[in-house]
Amino acid sequence: MIGAEAIIKCLEAEHVTTVFGYPGVAICPFYNSILESDIRTILIRTEQNAAHAASGMARLTGRPGVCAVTSGPGATNVITGIATAFADSIPLIVITGQVNSTLLGSDVFQEADITGAVESFVKYSYLVRKVNDIPRIFKEAFHIANTGRKGPVLIDIPIDIQNATLEKFVYPEEINMRTYKPTVKGNGAQIKKVIRELDKSSRPIICAGGGVILSDAREELRAFSEKYRIPVVSTMMGIGVMPTEHPLYYGMVGNNGKAYANKAMNDSDLLIMVGARVADRAVSQPDLITQNKVLIHIDIDPAEIGKNAGPSIPLVGDAKNIFLELLKEEFDDDFSDWISTLNEYRVKLAPKRNPNPEYVDPAAFIDMLSDKMAEDGVYVADVGQNQIWSCAYHKVKKGRFLTSGGMGTMGYSIPAAMGAKLAAPDRQVIAVCGDGSFQMSMMELATMKQHDVPVKIIVLKNNYLGMVRQYQHFTYKDHYSVVDLSGSPDLEKLSAAYDIPFLRVFNMKDAGEKLDAFLAKDEAMIMECIIDPMDLV
Amino acid sequence: MKKRIYSVLVENRSGVLCKVAGLFSRRCFNIDSLAVGETDDKDVSCMTIVSSGDQRTIEQIEKQLNKKLDVIKVKTFEEQQCISRELMLIKVKYNKTNRRDILEICDIMKAQIVDVSRHYMMIQICDEPDKVKSLISMFSSISIAEVARTGTLALSKCTEND
């Protein structure tokens, strides 16, 4: 058995079903051996999207997504996708081919020091020097990627190592790493302290981040919130921790969040921050969440606790595990006054819009889309104004809401939606993007077509890079610079070129009917919504 | 600003120094001094890093170091909790008039002359980092040709719990 075959054996042992990638000479032994396996290969049209597609798949399956690209430009192209996954703690295994190991360091054709380049965006990386190390390295890599604070792991494999003969293939049963033992169980004394503080509190709130979803703790968080009647807000990555219309859920916080969610968080006397980084978009003034309130910070990563705000009670561990422990405790408190106050805020501080009837109103449209889409549908939001509207108006029921929160990578939605659809073929998967973000990933229409991945794409078209235009509107008094998207293709013709059905909506009058047609069949379709170029989030 | 000494046991593999140093620069942590060497176990290296910052930074440094998968153990201590030493080699230019002064400084500072030529002397000192620093300032009025320092090495003081 050669190294490349051993890699495939490792992927099979980890139950990998799909590999996203783009070949080149340095990864050719791998792509040659994968033909003998049942693992499906998806030829993505640019390497960055291989990582995004793997990310979409990982988020649906709860297991690391896998992509494999060649050395040099293949490897450097995938970096943005790795950084995107890293910022949102998404588990990935990124396999990169590398030049012959005897030539390493001599700047030969398509050599890039990829392990060096990605150091600050990966949880860990390997440069494989001995073919016999392959089973151990893959075993460790999958373990590292999907335990503790999850994240991408890169494995760089020189072509001669892929072709070298392995003495004997044994996939290790156990991992033996003295440097890696993440804390999963919360400290019992700290958990008791949380309950004591909750008992004293009269205005508690939970702010849930993406970590709750990553640790599969949505049910436990909801049970905890319902048991003690504690209201919940979320960060962008936390959208979907509770159904949007759950009476105890008060929306997304942050500078692009709901005013009443921010007010609720600021007015609370006890804040349980769980699986959230306390970064600037969610909490612009970390000092405020430590003033006049007890801050309880729950995170699997001890370095997140106290990084941006010093908590009163730090609690390191896995969110699911901790909520299960918290649910065992009892205390008697009534927060109904606080909840009625928050319900008043919800009405008083509801967002007000003044939509232009000539165009599709993104708010009303997304609201309508949520009502019409499948209950367990997957909504993938891109980046830009479209993302903020999606966060504000999409209503999660039993489905998922995926987006690039930490890195804000434009072009994420289409490849991530493909990954999600391949992970869950029975579910409806819709990517919602702007005309800027669409053009960053539109080459993947061919991938969708080639591999029959029936993703639905909605493009909110305003002929602008809207989010930046809006920023220039406020900050530079309409002094617009490099935000005009003139020259964009006619999407109807583009869709025809790819042989994908197309619909265009000009205003809200026929939006409902068109949406029904758009959602009717499980097939790929593109819908373009013409929105007011001057609209603001 | 508080000063801290981090004694970091790491896997003795290529690239680990780069990862640790990169962590400091990326997160804007100071490195006042960094010394690396193998321990009694050839698979383990010990990095001694002297850094400074406010309370939050000091805690973050330890936590971020612990996150690195090549880091086995991090021990953080204040200066008075450890014995610290630094080795310096310093080459000075001498002449008839300052030769006596140089010898006297060496005597006071317990520094040794390890090499000598017609115009130059090489002096070695192994002492607490502050002493090393003061030796440099004493020689600065003479004529320093070259200086090489190891950076601080430190181990926590001996206790019965060791």
Same domain (yes/no): A501, A396: yes
State the ipTM, two decimals: 0.91
**What's the rounded Cα separation, in Å, for the pair A119 and A239?**
29
Question: At B22, which helix (H) or strand (E)?
Answer: helix B16-26
Structure tokens at A156: 């760089």
A234 close to A241: Cβ distance less than 8 angstroms: yes
Using CA atoms, how far apart are residues A388 and A409, in angstroms rounded to an integer? Answer: 14
Cβ contact (<8 Å) for B67 and A115?
A: no
Beta pairing class for B33-38 and B44-53: antiparallel
* CB atoms A124 and B69 under 8 Å: yes
Distance, in Å, from the CA atom of A486 to the CA atom of A493, rounded to the nearest integer, reads 16
Q: What is the DSSP letter of A65?
A: E
Residue A504's Cβ-count burial label (10 Å; 0-12, 13-18, 19+) is middle
> Which one of A163, A179, A204 terminates a domain?
A163
Strands A378-381 and A400-402: parallel
Write the residue in A115, A144, A306 that is nearest to B59 by C-beta: A306
d(CA B34, CA B31): 7
**DSSP letter (8 states) at residue A360:** B
Place of tokens 């002449």: B95
Q: Nearest by CB to B60, which of A120, A123, A307?
A: A307
CB contact under 8 A, A116 and B18: yes
Same fold: B2-77 with B83-155: yes
Taking CA atoms, A163 is separated from A20, A130, A396, A439, in Å, by: 21, 11, 48, 38
Residue A10 shares a structural domain with residue A47: yes
Contact list, B18 vs chain A (CB under 8 Å): 116, 119
pLDDT at B162 over 80: no
Contact assignment for A303 to B63 by CB distance below 8 Å: yes
8 Å CB contact of B18 and A119: yes
Chain B residues touching A148 at Cβ < 8 A: none
The answer to whether B67 and B100 are in contact (CB under 8 A) is no
Work out the average pLDDT over B10-17: 94
Listed by start position, the domains of chain B span 2-77, 83-155
Q: What are the tens digits of pLDDT across the range A464-518?
A: 999 999 999 999 999 999 999 999 999 999 999 999 999 999 999 999 999 999 9
- Say what the pLDDT of residue A310 is: 84
Q: How many other CB atoms are there within 10 angstroms of residue B129's CB atom?
A: 22
Q: How far apart are CA A365 and CA A515, in angstroms?
A: 9
Q: What is the C-alpha separation between A333 and A289, in angstroms, rounded? A: 23
- The answer as to whether A356 is a domain residue is no
Whether residues A228 and A195 share a domain: the answer is: yes
Per-residue model confidence (pLDDT) at position A454: 98
| CA atoms of A261 and A258, how far apart (whole Å) | 5
**pTM (predicted TM-score):** 0.96
Residues of B with CB below 8 A from A307's CB? 56, 60, 63
Choose among A239, A240, A78, A42: nearest CA to A152: A78
Substitution target from A143, A150, A307, A308 for chain B, most B beta carbons within 10 A: A307
pLDDT at A282 (0 to 100): 84
CB contact under 8 A, B69 and A180: yes
Residue A479 DSSP SS3 = coil
3-class SS of residue A19 = strand
* Residue where one domain finishes, among candidates A307, A326, A348: A348
**Minimal-distance CA residue of chain B relative to A124:** B69
Distance CA A15, CA A278 (A): 35
Q: Both A201 and A267 in a single domain? A: yes
Q: Is B93 helix (H, G, I), strand (E, B) or coil?
A: strand
Q: How far apart are CA A54 and CA A490, in angstroms?
A: 29
C-alpha atoms less than 13 angstroms from C-alpha of A186 in its C-beta half-sphere? 25
Question: Do A125 and A195 have their domain in common?
Answer: no
Query: For residue A400, which of A446, A431, A440 has the smallest C-alpha distance?
Result: A431
**Separation CA A283–CA A280 (nearest Å):** 5
Angle at A318 between CA A217 and CA A180, to 5 degrees: 140
Q: Which residues of A touch B54 (CB under 8 A)?
A: none
End-to-end CA distance of chain A, in Å? 57
Averaged pLDDT of chain B: 95
Same domain, A251 and A297: yes
Residues (pLDDT < 70) of chain A are: none
Does residue A416 lie in a domain region? yes
Cβ atoms within 10 Å of A86's Cβ, excluding its own: 21
On whether both A231 and A129 belong to a single domain, the answer is no
Please say if the pLDDT value at position B161 is more than 80: no
Identify the closest residue of chain B to A129 by CA–CA distance.
Answer: B14
Closest CA in chain A for residue B67:
A303
Q: Nearest-CA residue of chain A relative to B74?
A: A179
Residues of chain A in Cβ contact (below 8 Å) with chain B:
115-116, 119-120, 123-124, 127, 144, 177-180, 301-303, 306-307, 310
CA distance A236 to chain B (A): 24
**CATH number of the structural domain spanning residue A57:** 3.40.50.970
Q: What is the DSSP string of A213-262?
A: HHTT-HHHHHHHHHHHT--EEE-STTTTSS-TT-TTEEEE-STTS-HHHH
What tokens appear for A270 in the block? 């006890």
**Chain A residues within 8 A of B60 when measuring between CB atoms:** 303, 306-307
CA distances from residue A274 to A162, A327, A493, B35, B93 in whole angstroms, order as listed: 42, 15, 47, 38, 63
Q: Average pLDDT for residues B3-21, to the nearest whole number?
A: 95
> How far is CA A475 from each of CA A286, A361, A478, B142, rounded to the nearest angstrom?
24, 24, 8, 58
DSSP H helical ranges for A72-200:
73-77, 79-87, 114-117, 134-146, 159-163, 188-200
User: How far apart are alpha carbons A350 and A320 in whole angstroms?
Assistant: 32
Residues of B in contact with A301 (CB under 8 A): 67
CB-CB neighbors (< 8 A) of B56 in chain A: 306-307, 310
DSSP classification of residue A109 = T
Q: Evaluate whether B104 touches B112 at the Cβ level (below 8 Å).
A: no
Contacts of B63 in chain A (CB under 8 A): 302-303, 306-307
| Residue A314 lies inside a defined structural domain of this protein | yes
Residue A98 lies in a domain: yes
Tokens of A363: 């708010």
CB contact under 8 A, A123 and B69: yes
- Residue that has been written with the tokens 């072009």 in this structure: A411
Q: Rounded to a whole number, what is the distance in Å from the CA of A277 to chain B's nearest CA?
A: 14
Q: What is the mean pLDDT of chain A?
A: 96
Q: Which of residues 18-77 of B touch A (CB under 8 A)?
A: 18-19, 22, 26, 56, 59-60, 63-64, 66-72
- pLDDT 10s digits, A118-152: 999 999 999 999 999 999 999 999 999 999 999 99
Residues of B in contact with A127 (CB under 8 A): 15
Q: Is there a contact between B11 and A179 if contact means CB atoms under 8 Å apart?
A: yes
The verdict on residue A75 lying in a domain is yes
- Domain residue limits at A152: 3-163
Interface A:B, Cβ pairs < 8 A:
37
Per DSSP, what are the bridge partners of residue A381? A432
Closest to A86 (Cα-Cα) out of B26, B28, B60: B26
Residue A173 domain-assigned?
no
Angle of helix A218-228 versus helix A319-328 axis, rounded to 10:
30
DSSP E strand boundaries for A48-123: 65-69, 92-98
Closest CA to A443 of A50, A80, A86, A84: A50
What tokens does A214 get? 């990553």
- Give bridge partners of residue A205 from the DSSP assignment: A271
Contacts of B154 (CB under 8 A, 6+ apart): B5, B7, B48, B77, B82, B83, B84, B85
Residue A144: its chain B contacts at CB < 8 A?
A: 69
Q: Specify whether A137 is located in the same domain as A265.
A: no
Same domain, residue pair A57 and A131: yes
> What percentage of chain A reaches a pLDDT higher than 90?
95
Contact A223, A323 (CB under 8 A): yes
What are the E-state strand segments in A300-391?
A: 313-316, 378-381
| Cα–Cα distance for residue pair A325/A312, rounded to 1 Å | 19
Are A274 and A409 in the same domain?
A: no
Intra-chain end-to-end CA distance of chain B, in Å: 30
CA proximity to A146, closest of A59, A274, A235, A21: A59
Reference A388, options A308, A284, A457, A471; nearest CA is A471
Q: Which residue of B has its CA nearest to A140?
A: B69
- Is A183 within the bounds of a domain? no
Residue at A118 is within a domain: yes
A139 and A248 in a common domain: no
The Cβ-side half-sphere exposure at B97, using a 13 Å CA radius, reads 2
Position A291 scores a pLDDT of: 81
Last residue of one domain, picked from the residues A300, A318, A348: A348
Number of Cβ within 10 Å of residue A59's Cβ equals 24
Q: Which CATH number fits domain B83-155: 3.30.70.1150, 3.40.30.10, 3.30.70.20, 1.10.287.3510?
A: 3.30.70.1150
A279 and A136, same domain (yes or no): no
- A183 → chain B, closest CA residue: B67
Residue of B9, B16, B18, B19 to mutate, testing the A interface (most A Cβ within 10 Å of its Cβ): B19
Class of domain B2-77: alpha beta
Cβ(A300)–Cβ(A317) below 8 Å? yes
CA of A181: which chain B residue's CA is closest? B69
List the helix and strand counts (H, then E) for chain A: 22, 18
Q: Which among B63, B64, B68, B74 is the top mutation candidate for probing chain A, defined by the most A β-carbons within 10 Å of its own β-carbon?
A: B63
Q: State residue A290's pLDDT score.
A: 80
Please answer whether residues A272 and A228 qualify as being in contact, where contact means their C-beta atoms are separated by less than 8 angstroms. no
Number of domain units in chain A: 3
Q: Supply A149's token pair.
A: 């604070």
Chosen from A120, A122, A130, A299 to mutate, greatest number of chain B CBs within 10 A: A120
Helix (H, G, I), strand (E, B) or coil at A460: strand
pLDDT of residue A333: 85
